[in-house]
Amino acid sequence: MKTAPRVMLLIDADNVSADVVEQAFARVLDERGAIHVRRAYCTAESALKNLQLFKRLSIRPMVNLSTGKNSTDIALAVDAMDLAVAERPDVVVIVSSDSDFAPLVTRLREKGCRVEGIGQEGKTGDDAKPVYDSFVDLRHGKSRASSKAAPQAEAPAKRAPKRRVAAVRAAPAVQPALPKDVQDILAAVPSLRGGGWVDLPLAAEPLRKAKLLGRAAAATKLFKKHAAHFALQSDKQPHQVRLLDAR
């Protein structure tokens, strides 16, 4: 039986924005199904600034108190090699636009790891990308800031579920009961009940805890299975899902 790959996410949090960190986390979680080691390397000031983000995504901040040039990069590289020996990951994802990690990428590959890179668009030099097995740039300002603004732009669509709720109260027999599988999903992710868009990675975590979604399974497959009741939005990062018939 093939086991799911063990995934390690290492973030140079002094190099990319919090928005890009969140997009990178969502992307890796959606593609790999799980992130076993989650660490962000940063100064104490950056750790405090991003504390709520790290808590919400269960990312362990590795605070660097040294002040020398590239000291955070060195801390990440040293820790990465220790983890490669101790944790034996199959995939290592480095979130940074810095080209200084080329020697680390080469050494991790020699250890048997697939090494993927994620950078911030506009900051990553062309010489930083070829050394990775794959590399993607993410645009700052395209994650939670845009997804939070979307419901306001779609205000009429958000009011529509309220009218349908009122109709249900007036004539309960008109609206058929939702299938049990759909009810189980809503019980695990109650934020879907309102009919608004929910970031797919934020829905996937409670679904896995409720054992409705396998550790390595993509959340998109579960919602596509119930396409009559859920809509997927793939033009945003991270991807989003909503209940079609909010009640």
**In a shared domain, residues 177 and 214:** yes
In a domain, 65, yes or no: yes
Other beta carbons less than 10 A from residue 119's beta carbon: 26
**In a shared domain, residues 18 and 92:** yes
CB-based burial label for 117 (10 Å; 0-12, 13-18, 19+): buried
**In a shared domain, residues 208 and 111:** no
In a domain, 144, yes or no: no
pLDDT (0 to 100) of residue 113: 97
Give residues with Cβ within 8 angstroms of 156, minimum separation 6. none
**In a shared domain, residues 216 and 171:** yes
Residues paired with residue 136 on neighbouring β-strands, in sequence order: 118
Instruction: Please state the φ and ψ torsions of residue 182, each to the nearest 5 degrees.
Output: -70, -40
In a domain, 207, yes or no: yes
**Count of structural domains within the chain:** 2
Q: Model's pTM, two decimal places? A: 0.59
**In a shared domain, residues 107 and 189:** no
Domain boundary among 138, 161, 177: 138
Predicted confidence pLDDT, tens digits, the chain (247 residues)? 567 899 999 999 999 999 999 999 999 999 999 999 999 999 999 999 999 999 999 999 999 887 677 889 999 999 999 999 999 999 999 999 998 899 999 999 999 999 999 999 989 888 889 999 999 999 987 644 333 333 433 444 445 555 554 444 544 444 567 888 888 888 888 888 877 888 888 888 888 888 888 877 888 888 888 888 888 887 666 678 888 876 5
In a domain, 133, yes or no: yes
Is 14 within 8 Å of 21 (Cβ atoms)?
Answer: no
**In a shared domain, residues 73 and 188:** no
**In a shared domain, residues 11 and 126:** yes
**In a shared domain, residues 216 and 101:** no
**In a shared domain, residues 202 and 227:** yes
pLDDT (0 to 100) of residue 172: 46
| Biggest alpha carbon–alpha carbon distance for the chain | 69
**In a shared domain, residues 64 and 164:** no
In a domain, 1, yes or no: no
In a domain, 12, yes or no: yes
- Record the tokens describing residue 229, joined without a space: 């009741």
In a domain, 70, yes or no: yes
**In a shared domain, residues 120 and 42:** yes
Domain boundary among 106, 138, 170: 138
Q: What is the CATH number of the domain that holds 56?
A: 3.40.50.1010
Among 93, 168, 103, 193, residue whose Cα is nearest residue 136: 93
In a domain, 221, yes or no: yes
- DSSP result, the chain: -PPPPPEEEEEETTTS-HHHHHHHHHHHHHHHS--SEEEEEE-HHHHHHTHHHHHHTT-EEEE----STTHHHHHHHHHHHHHHHHH--SEEEEE---GGGHHHHHHHHHTT-EEEEEEETTT--GGGSTTSSEEEEE-TTSSHHHHHHHHHHTHHHHHHHHHHHHHHHH-TTSSPPPPHHHHHHHHH-GGGGG---EEHHHHHHHHHHTTSS-TT--HHHHHHHTTTTEEEE-SSSS-EEEESS--
Other beta carbons less than 10 A from residue 104's beta carbon: 22
**In a shared domain, residues 104 and 161:** no
Domain boundary among 75, 109, 138: 138
Question: Domain limits at 25?
Answer: 7-138
CA angle, corner 110, sides to 104 and 116, nearest 5? 55
pLDDT (0 to 100) of residue 146: 36
